[in-house]
Structure 1
Amino acid sequence: MNAEILTMVEMNKKTEALSVRQNTKDIEMGEKQLSALIKEAGEEARRKKREVMARHYDRLRDAIGRATAPKESVLAP
């Protein structure tokens, strides 16, 4: 009877150890996925910022071009 109980306790310990290892792997995988998502979000934000800045500079160039153009061109539609 004691041997059976010891065997059950040992099996329980092994099961718990496997469970802990699996949880650790799951956590590591989750951390990797989170890291990848953060990296992707950062890249997306930088891309959008570049696009917005490019449009901004295009508008500035256009405004400067119109402001420095001869007066006849400014009055023309």
Structure 2
Amino acid sequence: MRELSYKVIFVFVSVLSLLAPMTKSIAGEPPKDPILRIDTGMHVSGIRRVGIDAENRYLATGSGDKTVH
């Protein structure tokens, strides 16, 4: 039983050591060119919270895209 678990650990570590050098090449460099992001004035994810101030003047919504409008 114990010998089997040592074999499993050995195989697992061996596979990880073979895959470790590949992770850097997969990640690559971030793009040098700017990325255009258009602000549409609305959430791009579902609204999670809605809040109103005490005097009912302002309404705010919070979204999964981490914005508040």
What range is the shorter-chain TM-score in? 0.3 to 0.5
State TM-score, norm by structure 1.
0.33
Larger-gyration structure (1/2): 1
Bigger helix fraction = 1
Which one has the bigger strand percentage?
2
